[in-house]
Amino acid sequence: MRYGETGYNLEIDLATGNIERVETDPKLLETHLGGLGTSVKIHWDRVPPEVKPFDPENLLIFSSGLLNATPAFSANRTVISFVSPQSELLAYPMMGGFWSAELKHAGYDKVIFSNKSPDWVYVWIHDDKVELRDATHLVGKGALETQDLIREELEDPRAQVAAIGPAGENRVFVASIEQSRSSSSRLGGGAVMGDKKIKAVAVRGTKDVHIHDGPAFMELMQEITEYINYRNENPIPDVMTILSGIGSPQEMVHTDEKWHTENFSWGNARERRKGFWTDEIDESWSQSQTDAIQRLISCYNCPQHCGALISHENVPRYMMKCFSKLTYAMAAYVDNLDFGFQIAQKASEYGVDAFSFPQILAYGVELKEAGILTDEDFEGCPEDKEGRFYWLMDRVVHREGKVGNLLADGTYWAGKALGPEAESLAHNNIKKHEQLPIKLGMLDPLYFLMYATNEKISITQIEGNWPQAAFPKMEQRERFVEDWPQLPDESWKEWLLEWELRGEKAIPYYPTPQIAAQIVDWMEMLHNIDDALCLCAGMASFCLKPPYHIHNYPRLVTALTGLELDEKSLQKIVNRSRNLHRAFNNLRGMSRKDENPPKDHWKRRFPELEEELLSTYYEFKGWNHDGIPTKERLHELDLDYVADELIKRGLLKDGED
Amino acid sequence: MAKIKKTIKTIKVDADRCNGCRGCEIICSAYHAEPRYSSINPAKSRIQILTHRLKDIWLPVFAGEYTPSECMGREKYIIDGKEYDECAFCRATCPSRDLFKDPDSGLPLKCDMCEGEDEPQCVKWCLNDVLTYEEREIEVDEEEEAPLEDMEVGLESMADKYGLDKLQDAVARLSQQKKA
């Protein structure tokens, strides 16, 4: 019997309609755990570097993780992986919701899609019965609307459905896959799904998922539950509200947006509006939010309230998560939050990434203002800011006209097509992907490394357990470190105690490159564990002092699967998957030259220090000067076959360390 | 007939507090797994959250008595702007729906309030206080029928489905095979 995992994947060849239930190798649990780890292995084995995002050979994998469908709170992520049309690298945007547990109860760990369907289909997985069903009647329907239509058609209110909207159908490079209150947003999974002509994947499962040592698992969950309750009752003092709790940022609960509206940039990540948050705005925005929220909701098996059912006047109901309440209003320079709640409804149905998409629309406005796109290109576009955004959104989602078709590829590719001036306006990308609209003063060594090097390519999802800034007063630092069991080593507390706001022991020179490398490696490792377990990062790697951490993950995995693990061996497994992922992207051309945050991200840059940071981090990771894992590091991780491939393809030289 | 005092165990459901996570279904199925906590399967849970997210419906319902035949209830209720089938509030394991039936055997499931524990596990593990365990005393007739055990409820439903004679034959045949 397999524990924690079902031991089967579903292989669906869309060209022939062949569907197979394939038993997986139990050894993979020991080498890659599950979730992202085992998915990366499949991409490595089966998708050579020549395969382009819209080639039939580009695999689209929907994966559950080890902890899904267990009593572990907040283990509800589905990791969707594919070669991204935007970055042309292996992307893995994750979604919460209810899908992955249902898949495991149907008896599968992953669904692997290959090739393309000749006609629009949706997939219906109901335990052992799996069908490709005609979806022509669903084409053009919204991503949320489609989920309910399919449940009605199947007469199964308990089916969990992941669907794309028109943006995915039209292969918009930032199209999302939507499911319940969540979405897999970043880097265009919806476009690859649309390219394969899959409108939706519906699943219903009624089978057991087995736990190796149930009583031990529940005993650990008892401890973790007590800590969740403790953290919910005791927010961390001395940090901004949004960072004080656990879960994803509680954007639906909190109404005070002074920090975001004044520190994040408006428009196409251009302008910080100091003094924006007046009493009048506070009152009006708080009112908009209170009126819009019908109920605070969560994902599967999670006690938090990171999402909300939105019932706003004039628009149909939808579900909102996190930061999307602000992104459209801020990108459009609209000072009324009602606009944010209204346009987000349409965006959810269209199925687009709420971070990239508003920036793309704002970029379109800039192209017009710069005269790169003309009045003729914008014929029929309303003059007001709100109307202009709706008009642009419709065009981009449907790839309509020159404006729509260009912007549908995102700011990087649109800029490249339009020439150097347009390219310089696409200023907020890393690895061709739009980043958080934040522009700061002083270079931060930790953030520099996270931005530059992480395979997730989205800073919003790789922040972590280390505080975002030094505490001004020693007493605050002491208060923070006195109760910090999540740290890998007690000695790290000194780094926080010594970290100052100004002076020698402040950013950009402190934490030093050596310390920064260790902290970033630790935070990244936590994310990689969550991604293998499909645990919400909001309860683990993403937030300060989370319930799940390096000292309880191994015990949970052991109780669940029977696999004997300690902190070191768990670290080695995720490090192996991390390096495999890195090598996959290296083969696609990614190297040091790409690991460069947007030029204007910080006002004060330090080119020499940045080079030192990168080199120190690479060395710490066991990567060569170009950011490619060395033969030695790959050997330590039992990845000699990867080293052979990198040598064969000329990326590593034999004998070079 | 003489009256005696009896403790009634109930669970108060504050559906307005439910965030729709279905943690109660998970823990219920884990607790009732054999051996305990060895497997998870919300389809076997004796509490189910009836959900229509966009209609703001999250309704926890508990498994109650088995019944061999459908009732006449086909009414619709509109409460606070939300439409519910009459069935939504019903605890019965009944032929009109697949709720509260073991997905493998089709046998009825029934909430036993996690007999032997301080409180039902769904109450304990719901961190949003949707479910509150309450006890109250009532007076009942002394000679009340003992409640049926899980297995007896299952046998009764099989007898209804296949007839008592067939069931007896099957049991006899099985015991012969086991002895052999």
A8-204 in CATH: which number?
3.60.9.10
Residue A657 buriedness (CB in 10 A; 0-12 / 13-18 / 19+): exposed
Query: When comparing pLDDT for B178 and A227, which is higher?
Result: A227
Task: Give the model's pLDDT for residue A314.
Answer: 84
> Which residues make Cβ contacts (< 8 Å) with residue A113, sequence separation at least 6?
A12, A14, A59, A60, A61, A62, A196, A198
CATH 1.10.599 maps onto chain A at 440-648
Q: Are residues B75 and B111 in the same domain?
A: yes
Q: What is the pLDDT of residues B162-171, one digit of tens each?
A: 888 998 998 8
Task: Give the model's pLDDT for residue B4.
Answer: 87
What are A191's two structure tokens?
């476009």
What are A517's two structure tokens?
């490398």
Q: Which of B21, B51, B56 sits opposite A301 (nearest CB)?
A: B21
What are B92's two structure tokens?
């019965």
CATH 1.10.569.10 maps onto chain A at 247-355
User: Interior CA angle at A275 toward A270 and A279, to 5°?
Assistant: 130
Task: Tell me which of B37, B41, B49, B123 to substitute to probe the interface with A (most A C-beta atoms closer than 10 Å).
Answer: B37
Mean pLDDT of A207-221: 98
Cα separation, A80 vs A63, whole angstroms? 6
> Which residues make Cβ contacts (< 8 Å) with residue A182, sequence separation at least 6?
A95, A96, A97, A299, A307, A321
Cα separation, A520 vs A450, whole angstroms? 7
Task: Give the model's pLDDT for residue B151.
Answer: 81
User: Chain B closest CA to A555's CA: distance in Å?
Assistant: 16
Query: When comparing pLDDT for B142 and A149, which is higher?
Result: A149
User: Is A160 within 8 Å of A71 (Cβ atoms)?
Assistant: no
DSSP designation for B59: E
Task: Give the model's pLDDT for residue B145.
Answer: 62
Task: Give the model's pLDDT for residue B161.
Answer: 84
On chain B, the residues whose CB falls within 8 A of the CB of A296 are: 19
Q: Tell me the pLDDT band of A241, cut-offs 50, 70 and 90.
A: confident
The interface residues of chain B toward chain A in range 58-117, judged by CB-CB distance below 8 A, are 58, 103
User: Chain A closest CA to B176's CA: distance in Å?
Assistant: 30
Into how many domains does chain B fold?
2
On chain A, the residues whose CB falls within 8 A of the CB of B39 are: 208-211, 214
Report the run of H or E that residue B7 belongs to, with start and end.
strand B3-13
Domain A440-648 of CATH type 1.10.599:
yes
For residue A591, pLDDT beyond 90: yes
Task: Give the model's pLDDT for residue B144.
Answer: 61
Cα separation, A73 vs A466, whole angstroms? 22
CATH 3.60.9.10 maps onto chain A at 8-204
Task: Tell me which of A158, A203, A299 to substitute to probe the interface with B (most B C-beta atoms closer than 10 Å).
Answer: A158
User: Chain A closest CA to B158's CA: distance in Å?
Assistant: 21
Residue A469 gets the label, from left (phi > 0), alpha (psi -120 to 50) or beta, of beta
At A641, is the secondary structure helix, strand, or coil? helix
For residue A461, pLDDT beyond 70: no
On chain B, the residues whose CB falls within 8 A of the CB of A73 are: 23
Q: Are residues B99 and B169 in the same domain?
A: no
Q: What is the pLDDT of residues A172-188, one digit of tens each?
A: 999 999 999 999 999 99
Q: Are residues B65 and B116 in the same domain?
A: yes
Nearest CA in chain B to A293: B56
For residue A18, pLDDT beyond 80: yes
User: Chain B closest CA to A102's CA: distance in Å?
Assistant: 9
Task: Give the model's pLDDT for residue B179.
Answer: 80
Task: Give the model's pLDDT for residue A221.
Answer: 98
Q: In angstroms, what CA-CA distances link A148 with A80, A133, A153, B48? A: 22, 16, 9, 19
What are A164's two structure tokens?
């794309």
Task: Give the model's pLDDT for residue A38.
Answer: 98
Q: Tell me the pLDDT band of A612, cut-offs 50, 70 and 90.
A: very high
Q: What is the pLDDT of residues A59-95, one digit of tens each?
A: 999 999 999 999 999 999 999 999 999 999 999 999 9
**Segments of chain B scoring below 50 in pLDDT:** none
Nearest to A292 by CA among A329, A241, A249: A329
Nearest CA in chain A to B49: A158
Cα separation, A632 vs A642, whole angstroms? 11
User: Which has the minimum average pLDDT: A131-145, A194-208, B56-70?
Assistant: B56-70
How many CB atoms are closer than 10 A to CB A311?
A: 17
Nearest to A427 by CA among A597, A309, A625, A569: A597
Please state at what angle helix A607-621 crosses helix A445-453, rounded to 10 degrees. Answer: 60
| Omega cis (within 30) before B35 | yes
Residue type, B124: K
Q: Are residues B160 and B100 in the same domain?
A: no
| Beta-sheet strands, E only, within A509-640 | 602-604
User: Is A407 within 8 Å of A392 (Cβ atoms)?
Assistant: yes
Could you identify the residue written with the tokens 């301080």? B118
Residue type, A252: M
Helix spans in A275-379 (H): 279-292, 324-332, 337-350, 356-369
Q: Which domain holds residue B162?
A: 145-180
Nearest to A372 by CA among A325, A418, A412, A305: A418
User: Per CATH, which fold does A247-355 belong to?
Assistant: 1.10.569
Cα separation, A271 vs A262, whole angstroms? 9
Task: Give the model's pLDDT for residue A656.
Answer: 61
DSSP designation for A265: P
Q: Are residues B65 and B114 in the same domain?
A: yes
Nearest CA in chain B to A215: B37
Q: Are strands A121-126 and A198-204 parallel, antiparallel or unpaired?
A: parallel
Would you call B54 and A144 a contact, using CB atoms and an 8 Å cutoff?
A: yes
At A557, is the secondary structure helix, strand, or coil? helix
At A201, is the secondary structure helix, strand, or coil? strand
For residue A549, pLDDT beyond 80: yes
Q: Are residues B70 and B149 in the same domain?
A: no
Task: Give the model's pLDDT for residue A535.
Answer: 97
At B101, is the secondary structure helix, strand, or coil? strand
Task: Give the model's pLDDT for residue B146.
Answer: 67
pLDDT exceeding 70 applies to what percent of chain A?
A: 99
What are A230's two structure tokens?
């403790």
Q: Are residues B46 and B115 in the same domain?
A: yes
Mean pLDDT of A26-42: 98
Mean pLDDT of A270-278: 96
Residue type, A41: K
Mean pLDDT of A536-563: 97
Number of A–B residue contacts, CB under 8 Å: 102
User: Chain A closest CA to B111's CA: distance in Å?
Assistant: 19
Q: Which of A208, A296, A318 sits opposite B39 (nearest CB)?
A: A208
Q: Which of A209, A302, A311 sits opposite B40 (nearest CB)?
A: A209
Nearest to A91 by CA among A134, A60, A120: A60
Which residues from A are below 8 Å from B when comparing CB atoms?
69-71, 73, 98, 101, 105, 144, 148, 157, 180-181, 205-211, 214-215, 217-218, 225, 228-229, 232, 294-305, 309, 311, 316-319
> Maximum CA pair distance of chain A?
69
For residue A654, pLDDT beyond 70: no
Cα separation, A637 vs A581, whole angstroms? 13
Mean pLDDT of A186-212: 98
> Which residues make Cβ contacts (< 8 Å) with residue B93, sequence separation at least 6?
B63, B64, B65, B66, B67, B99, B100, B101, B108, B109, B110, B157
How far does chain B reach from its first CA to its final CA, in angstroms?
50
The interface residues of chain B toward chain A in range 114-173, judged by CB-CB distance below 8 A, are 125, 127-128
ipTM of the complex: 0.95
Q: Are residues B43 and B128 in the same domain?
A: yes
User: Is B122 within 8 Å of B47 (Cβ atoms)?
Assistant: yes
